[in-house]
Structure 1
Amino acid sequence: MSALAQALKDLDEKSVYQLVEDKIKNGTSPLDIIAECNEGMVGVGELFSSGVYFLSQLIFSAEIFKNVMNMLEPVMPKSGPGVSVGKVVIGTVKGDIHDIGKNIVANLLRGSGFEVTDLGVDVPAEKFVEALKETGARVLGLSALLNFTYPEMKTVVEAVTKAGLRDKVTIIIGGAPCNEQVRQFTGADYYAEDAMTGVNICKKIYS
């Protein structure tokens, strides 16, 4: 684990900002910096899952990461006018208000040149369908942190099918309770075990 990832995992706010500042000055790619932070956030998630960290620490880590993204904003790669790698609709499903992982994925996608429609948290199935119709996006990302909400992912997949969009949209799921079994249960196309995997799947779909 890199020094930056470790500092974020340890919730050492001062060290995180200093390391990010140094990396920006040294010309490190903002996407590489985000990837290191993502590794740290995964570590925070593991400590939360094992009961070492509590919700307050999870929220604090998200706040640190948000501030890092603000620091990186001026140096993030920008797509040219009208240029887009592809369109992605993303959101946390109904019944879940967690957005740390979703926000990491959305920021990585934007940094990679994707147009991202982020619907936020506690999103009902019909809102996902509506956004897909409005944007014409070929990728839908569904996030859930609470394991009792993953059946809602199945509801969203069914709603997309009912709307006649299933053959046009690739659905990716992600979040703490998700695995290959959950993917099969929901009917999604892919399960992303981390943020970078999700981004790489999107790149593959639009390549």
Structure 2
Amino acid sequence: MPSLSAARAHRSLGWSLALLAFAQLIYSLDINIVFVALPEIGAGLGFSEQTLQWVVSAYTVFCGGFLLLGGRAVDLLGQRRMFIGALWLYALSSLVGGLAWNPAVIVIARAVQGIGAALLFPSTLSLINRLFEEGPPRNRALAIWGGAGASGLTLGSLAGGVLTSAYGWPSVFFVNVLLAGIAIVAAFLVIPKDAPRAAASTCRAR
């Protein structure tokens, strides 16, 4: 029985790690996925040459600007809760981005994606630190998580080119709705619930 329980726990951790790596892939994917689509986005929405770069920059600027706040929110509100919330932000902002009818809407959508990234990055990292014990297990998990992020940078450019050529520029946003939706469902199934914060609240009250 102990060995069976250990096997189930190991399998559960494996699924959790796969999901966290997948989320990190999404985070990195969105940095580069719009690059190839920029000419079509500019032509379709009437961007000037000077403002078109904001489609890319809005994501990175808002991600960097809100990263510390995102980490604090994860600490206060819970890792699983913020992980799922970040994925919802991704899905909704990507849907709006794909349906954008003018430059302002798509830039705002990318900015909201960046805020989602600022929540997603620290929540995935915190979940790894919580789920995997210090030492080789956590080191392996961090290596897989980091590798997924690095792969996303490359896959973003490739996916952006393929999707834009086949389905037009809105597809580079709509694909995120699908990816984030899959991750949200999986999160409810495999990520353990956040620990109750009653004890922490009591300590603060004292």
Question: TM-score, normalised to structure 2's length?
Answer: 0.31
- Bigger Cα Rg: 2
Q: Which is richer in strand?
A: 1
- Which structure exhibits the higher relative contact order, with contacts defined as CA atoms closer than 8 Å and separated by 6 or more residues? 2
